[in-house]
Amino acid sequence: MANNLKPGGGWVTALKSDIFTWARLKLTATYLLIVAVILIVFSATLYSDVSVRVRAEWERRAAITRSVGDETFYDATIEHLQTGIITVDALMFLLAAGLSYWLAGYTLKPIKKALESQQAFSAEASHELRTPLAVMRNGIEVLLRGKQNLSEEAAAVLKSNLEEIEAMSVMTEDLLHLSRGKAISADKYEKVDLSAVAKAVAEKFVPLAGQRGVKLDISDLQKVSLFAARPALERLIKNIVQNAIVYTPSGGSVSVRVRQENKTAVLEVEDTGLGIPEKDLQHIFERFYKVDRSRSAGGNDSQTGSGLGLAIAKQIADQHNALIDVKSVVNHGTKFRVVFPAS
């Protein structure tokens, strides 16, 4: 059975992935909660005080006239008091809502500007680095094609340089992706089959897995549909699968699974690799955080990436309002799990 998100799910997810809009709404709600508590306490105190005074006045009049007081006077006064308090509270709450929304935006504005400036710088720097890196890569590739004119030592140095340039190119692309990682607009979301996307992405890693002697299992893929931005979803799966293969030694295995759990679509990537030390687990999704490079199945290996792959995966998961977590046991393996909620 397919798990189908409602068409409006893309709009809701896009809203939630816009961190500043979502933060502004939550901050507004916090302000309003404080205002509501103050209004309730003030209104309850006022009502109690005034109702006691009204009761005392009613009893005083009854004593003067030496007759039972007219209950209608008391009831009408209390009803009028209740109506007045509710009306004033409602007006004050509406006014507070507008002021709270404005104040939340004003409070977050400097942070938003600083982040946008940082993102713009990262994007510009990454973009400017692409051209010189491409020129350097092409130049070295040309030299290596004519390696009959090079000594073995020179050829080895050039190959090493080429690997480092390729690693820098990957880092540049990752940095550019992160710097542009704003909320995905609702019109970018479409109904996709998570199992089909996972299969298509995982199959591209069959050659890499074969080179490393790693078994890649993609047999457990249940059809589960959801609304997502397909290119971003592909990037998320790519980063997690590549990470699993790189950190799994020869003879190990990597399994990619998709299934439906209640009203959620679940993606799991599990390996029998080296595992992640417990002290590193809490940092695994941080930008540029890299566990000891010697952990990779290939040692000091250019395939280990830039340290941004899992940060990008986390960013994409957040943009889709999905939960991503990881469990790992050293020398036994690691399991990444991404849960996409129904809307």
Q: In Å, how far are 51, 134, 268, 282, 326 from 240, measured between CA atoms?
A: 66, 26, 9, 16, 11
> 3-state SS string over 241-255?
HHHHHHCCCCCCEEE
CATH T-level topology, domain 186-341: Heat Shock Protein 90 (3.30.565)
Numbered ranges of CATH 3.30.565.10 in the chain: 186-341
The region, left, alpha or beta by phi > 0 then psi within -120 to 50, assigned to residue 222 is beta
- Going residue by residue through the chain (343 aa), what tens digit of pLDDT does each one get? 444 444 444 444 444 446 778 888 899 999 999 999 999 999 999 888 888 887 777 777 766 665 555 567 677 878 888 888 899 999 999 999 999 999 988 888 888 787 767 667 666 666 677 778 778 878 888 778 876 677 777 878 888 787 777 767 766 776 666 666 655 566 678 889 999 999 999 999 999 999 999 999 999 899 998 888 888 899 899 999 999 999 899 999 999 999 998 889 999 999 998 888 888 888 888 877 776 645 555 544 545 556 778 888 888 888 888 999 999 988 889 999 999 976 4
pLDDT of res. 253: 94
Nearest to 247 by CA among 269, 268, 267, 271: 271
Task: With beta carbons less than 8 A apart as the criterion, state whether 215 and 254 touch.
Answer: yes
pLDDT of res. 287: 74
The structure tokens listed for 260 are 């439906």
CB neighbour class for 207 (10 Å; exposed up to 12, middle 13-18, buried from 19)? exposed
pLDDT of res. 73: 67
d(CA 337, CA 308): 18
Q: How much helix, strand and coil, in percent to the nearest 5, is found in the chain?
A: 65, 15, 25
Question: Which strand (E) or helix (H) includes residue 340?
Answer: strand 333-341
Task: With beta carbons less than 8 A apart as the criterion, state whether 215 and 209 touch.
Answer: yes
pLDDT of res. 280: 83
d(CA 187, CA 85): 45
d(CA 240, CA 219): 17
The structure tokens listed for 24 are 């502004």
Q: In Å, how far are 61, 76, 218, 311 from 66, measured between CA atoms?
A: 8, 21, 93, 82
pLDDT of res. 252: 93
Q: What's this model's pTM, rounded to 2 decimal places?
A: 0.59
d(CA 135, CA 116): 30
47: Cβ–Cβ under 8 A, 6 or more apart, which residues?
A: 81, 82, 85
